[in-house]
Structure 1
Amino acid sequence: MALERAVRETIERHSLLPVGETVILGVSGGADSLAMLHLLSRLAPAYDVTLHVGHLNHRLRGAEAEADAAFVAAMCAEWGIPYTVESADVAAVAGERGLAIEETARQVRYAFLARLARALGARTVAVAHNADDQVETVLMHLLRGAGLAGLRGMRPLSRLEELRLGDPASHDVAEGSIRLIRPLLEVPRAAIEAYCRAHGLEPRYDLSNLDRTYYRNRLRYELVPYLETYNPNVRQVIQRMAEALAGDYELLRQQLLEVWPHVVRHASDEAITFDLAALRDLSIGLQRSVLREAVHRLRRSLRNINWVHIDDAVRVLNDGSTGAAATLPRGLLLTIDYDVATLAPAGYTPPRANVPRITRRIALPASGTIPLEGGWALTIERLPREALPADWRTNPDPYVAYLDAARCAGPLELRPRREGDWFIPLGLGHRQRVRELMINAKVPRDVRDTLPLLLCGADIAWVVGLRIDERFAVTAGTTTVLVVRVVEGMPPAANRAGDVRMEDD
């Protein structure tokens, strides 16, 4: 028949059936899945595949749902096909997740099929979406403001972990790569129903598919017929558009995977931090793709994220200065901070920068090693100028300061920054507020008030990690040099000073 030939062509064109393996079939008992089961049972010997049916009772329709499960079990037993029937309280899960029944049923159903596939060692799951389902899916995505990923609709071959399954269910799916095939995707619903009649198949009918309170049903029975009054071939037009956009999406996806490691500085389950300059160098289209990918990685779904949200985030990304932010649904916030952009939950506290910090004044000895907070330590030694290392003038280590010991004659102490602090940065030639220096150096906000300052008497001699004061710089007339180092961890042979005093500021 024409339908069997069309399905064969789809299978061959997309290499859907893995030779010699097990394929899990999601079968509800309706016309689409029953036709798929019948067709694949006829084609299975040619591909040496083993079929296993999975049926999930969503417990939404009482006795009717029980009858569906019994029907599928009886059909599989009659045809000699192994099967697994399970049930799930979809309504209860929807309440727990705060989702609509339709979306929850989808999540739970795919998670069940994924678990079944893993339990049986199968790498392929087949579902019975048809060409009319494709039209409805594309329209749903269009109306919610989807990007290319949504407007390309469903694909004959994809992977379960690519589905937008929501937080809890996605973890069930993401463990391992499972192929998701749709062998009937290019076949219209009418042809499938005709196939069932021709082969004496009597599918179950879910009356909820006629209930127009469900969004998809309204599209099916109201919007699509209305669009056909403008173009009788609108279904074919939408299918062709989805196919064309799928090619564009694959190209963009390939580019995204290439640029991702170059624009991401740090990624975790909590937050993703981008190199702002690298991200701004991308085209607007790639920027949108990067942000959508980041949202999906953090939330395992793009539910409630539409074009407007991503576009607002891209605008802030390109035009915003430090402190600018874009709010996205699902509790996410994109923030700009100097040279980075961070996507994270609102209220997210980033890991503390790995820099020395102090919260109190510390009176220092003339020489020796003392512990600082957070596992850091400070060492002080006095050396004749001729004993300095060869590279002391360029000083490649920001945590080492060379100071004129004679000029730094006052008592030494460390303390955090105070409002109004100033010094004369080496090479600048005039006074500058310490806060301004830190801002120019892009010191994170949470570090500025705890970064140590070294004082000689009443004057700031060194903003640790940044700059020394030119009044204390080593000159041609310097004979003894005060070498101050801040290191992570106590040196093994540390000569700890015994007279260190920590005081409340």
Structure 2
Amino acid sequence: MRKSSVVSVHEFLQIWLSMAKQKKLQRVLVACSGGVDSVVLLRMLASLQSSLSLQLVVGHVHHGLRETANRDARFVQELAEQLHLPAEIEYVHLQDISIQHRRGTEADARHLRYQALLRMAEKYQCDAIAVAHHADDQVETVLWRLLRGAYLSGLQGMQAESVVPQSHMRLLRPLLSFSKQAIEKTAQQNGWSWVEDESNQSLRFLRNRLRQRVLPELRAIEPNVSEIIGRFTAMVREENDWLNDWAKQLFNTYITYDETLSAYHLSTNQWIELPIPLQRRAIHLLLTCFPTEINWTARHVEDLRKLASSKDPSAGIDLPGGFLAWRIYSQLWVGPRPRFLNTKRQTVREVLLNEGEWADELGWIWRLTRHHISNLVSGNDWGWTVHLPPEIHSLSIEDCNRSWRVKTRVGSKKIQDLMTDSKLPKMLRAAWPVVKAGDWLWIPGLYSSSRIHSKDAEIARWTLQTIPPKHVQSLLQAEECRILWRRDKEE
């Protein structure tokens, strides 16, 4: 943090020029609420506009949450006119966020604000958005995130240069190294007016309680608390970058993306031998791959790490935003909650023996053909195959009743035990199909009560084949799973 008592034009210019080095800034949207911080930011940029060959656009977001919101919008509009700058005011409403996606007034307002600023910046073809966060905001942010259980990367605080969430728009914070006191003194010395947001005095919000109660006490203990936390966030950022480089290598080595399920998965056998800090870091990297504004906390990361080490082969945990993490033996999956969970066939499908192909309501593809068994090529692309006994003229397809028993060479066995022995993923068992015709039974990939003798090879027979949907194929990849892509053995 700078020890300057005011925001000098020279210091501000040097900061801005360093930001412009990466990519030239020709047109910038300046977010202005009308408060002292954003007014100083706007006026400083306006004073340098001609020397920097910079075009400015003033952006104001009207949340409609306060009686004085219209006053603030008028103030910003008049200030922009005074500075001969174009201004854009956008109205947003918290009720536009669906109930399942609401995270609290502060978080929802912040989300809507940045989305509105992004729309304005894109409308005016701006290169970046400038906001007025300062050093005191940085202290509040770190404390706020710490209390909310932020992961280590969250403790690096705000960066002077970043991007708007879920976009490529640059987000600039040129006042981040200046104190609130220096900003207010700058406005006072220059006679710049501003408006006060009375909601900043409300102790209803955690950030305000930190600002009004916790920070004064911290400064009484250590006057340089802002500078200390500033150094701390810089160190965290450096170490975070180093750990991320290692984590990316682990991510590329151990973690795979499955497009069918829009989920990531990894094999836990080697994973659990890795250093725990790197496990956590790679898991956090995995979570941040999902296009969502969920604040993944240290608790989420640790829960996933423990799930990867769990001895329960079918364990799972719910995550925010409709995401799910689940184990399938030695595989850990993380992604949106699969749509097929808890779905079953609504009816029993009765099938007459006629050649044809069809898909059932759960996406399984079936095919009936009639030919000599010796002409059927084993190992074809049609997944599982069974030859029907000659006395069968119709059959039914339904969900397995796992309490049923089937005959084996040594007696009988429950279908549930058959599934367990074959390591069929637990989440697939309820809707796994069974084909019945009287006492005859076929469970694709698991069991068939047919038996074909060599003397029957030249007899024309009905053959039933099936391919499961792609998500089922993906979930059968676990090393322990004994259901193979082959023609079923005749039991």
Q: Give the TM-score normalised by the residue count of structure 2.
A: 0.75
Q: Quick one: which amino acid aligns to residue 486 of structure 1? A: Q
1:190 alignment partner in structure 2 = 181
Aligned pairs (5 A) from 1:135-174: 135-161=139-165, 174=166
CA distance in 2, matches of 1:325, 1:352: 18
CA drift of 1:424 comes to 4.9
Q: Distance in 2 between the 1:348 and 1:388 partners?
A: 35
Matches within 5 A, 1:259-408: 259=251, 263-266=255-258, 272-277=262-267, 281=271, 283=274, 284-285=276-277, 287-288=279-280, 300-303=292-295, 306-319=297-310, 321-329=312-320, 332-338=323-329, 339-345=331-337, 349-350=340-341, 359-360=348-349, 364=353, 369-371=355-357, 373-374=359-360, 375-383=365-373, 392=378, 395=379, 397=381, 399=383, 401=385
The residue number in structure 2 matching 1:438 is: 419
Q: Rg bigger for which structure?
A: 1
**Structure 2 gap ranges (5+):** 1-5, 469-491
Distance across 2 between alignment mates of 1:46 and 1:317:
57
Q: How far 1:448 sits from its partner (Å)?
A: 6.0
Hey, what's the Cα distance between the residues in 2 that align with 1:400 and 1:207? 69
Identify if the C-alpha distance between structure 1 residues 77 and 396 changes in structure 2 by more than 3 Å, giving closer, same or farther. Answer: same
Matched, 1:119 2:119: no
Amino acid at match of 1:275: H
Contact 1:263/1:278 (CA < 8 Å) preserved in 2?
Answer: no
Measure how far apart 1:441 and its partner are: 4.5
Amino acid at match of 1:451: P
Residue 26 (structure 2) pairs with residue 21 (structure 1): yes
Quickly say closer, same or farther: Cα 1:372–1:107, change in 2 above 3 A: closer
- Counterpart of 1:106? 110
Return the match for 1:234 from 215, 222, 225: 225
The TM-score, its normalising length taken from structure 1, stands at: 0.73
Alignment of 1:215-226 (within 5 A): 215-226=206-217
Note closer, same or farther for the CA distance 1:443–1:93 as it changes in structure 2 (3 Å cut).
closer
Q: 1:124 to 1:438 in 2, by over 3 A?
A: same
2: distance between equivalents of 1:423 and 1:274?
39
- Is the CA contact (8 Å cut-off) linking 1:295 and 1:301 kept in structure 2? no
Instruction: Give the Å deviation of 1:146.
Output: 0.2
Which stretch has the larger CA shift, 31-40 or 430-439?
430-439
CA distance in 2, matches of 1:292, 1:51: 37
Give the partner amino acid of 1:151.
Answer: L
**SS at 1:378 equivalent:** strand
Secondary structure of 1:300's aligned partner: coil
Q: Give the counterpart letter for 1:177 in structure 2.
A: H
With over 3 angstroms needed to count, the CA separation of the structure-2 counterparts of 1:185 and 1:321, relative to structure 1, is same
Deviation at 1:88, TM superposition (A): 4.3
What is the match of residue 47 of structure 2?
42
| Structure 1 match to 2:61 | 56
Summarize deviations over 1:390-439 as a string: whole Å, max 9, x none: xx4xx365636587x9xx666577555554443559xxx99765544433
Give the aligned residue type for 1:119.
K
**Alignment match, 2:81:** 77
**Contact persistence 2:31–2:131 (CA under 8 A):** yes
Percent of paired sites with the same residue: 24
Name the SS of the counterpart of 1:56 in structure 2.
strand
The alignment covers a number of residue pairs equal to 449
- The one-letter amino acid paired with 2:39 is L
Cα distance change, pair 344–287 in 1 and its aligned pair in 2 (3 A): farther
Query: How far, CA to CA, are the matches of 1:479 and 1:101 in structure 2?
Result: 72
What residue is the counterpart of 1:11 in the other structure? 16
Structure 1 residue identity aligned to 2:355: T
Q: Deviations over 1:173-213 (max 9, x none)?
A: x4x52111101111122222232233332333334333334
Q: How far apart, in 2, do the equivalents of 1:436 and 1:95 lie?
A: 44
Cα distance, 1:350 vs structure 2: 4.3
- For 2:115 and 2:54, the matched residues in 1 are separated by 22
Assess if the C-alpha contact under 8 Å between 1:263 and 1:279 holds in 2.
no
Q: Which residue of 1 aligns with 2:444?
A: 464
Q: Is the 8 A contact 2:386 2:465 kept in 1?
A: no
Q: Does 1:204 align with 2:211?
A: no
1:486 is aligned to 465
Deviates more, 1:7-16 or 1:282-291: 282-291
State the SS of the aligned residue for 1:47: coil
**Structure-2 separation of matches of 1:227 and 1:47:** 39
Alignment match, 1:177: 168
Looking at structure 2, the residues matched to 474 and 52 of structure 1 have their Cα atoms a distance apart, in angstroms, of 83
Q: Distance in 2 between matches of 1:415 and 1:256?
A: 51
How far is the alpha carbon of 1:57 from its aligned partner? 3.5
State the one-letter code of the partner of 2:444: V
Tell me if structure 2 keeps the 8 A contact 1:358–1:415: no
SS of 1:472's equivalent in the other structure is coil
Amino acid at match of 2:141: T
**CA displacement, residues 68-124 of structure 1 (integer Å, 9 cap, x when unaligned):** 33333333222222222344456x668977554433332232222111111111131
**Aligned 1:417-436 pairs, distance under 5 A:** 417=400, 419-422=403-406, 424=408, 434-436=415-417
Distance 2:289 2:233 in 1: 24
Helix, strand or coil for the counterpart of 2:89?
A: strand
Counterpart of 1:501 in structure 2 is none
Q: What's the offset of the Cα at 1:50? A: 0.5
Quick one: which of 204, 211, 234 aligns to 1:243?
Answer: 234
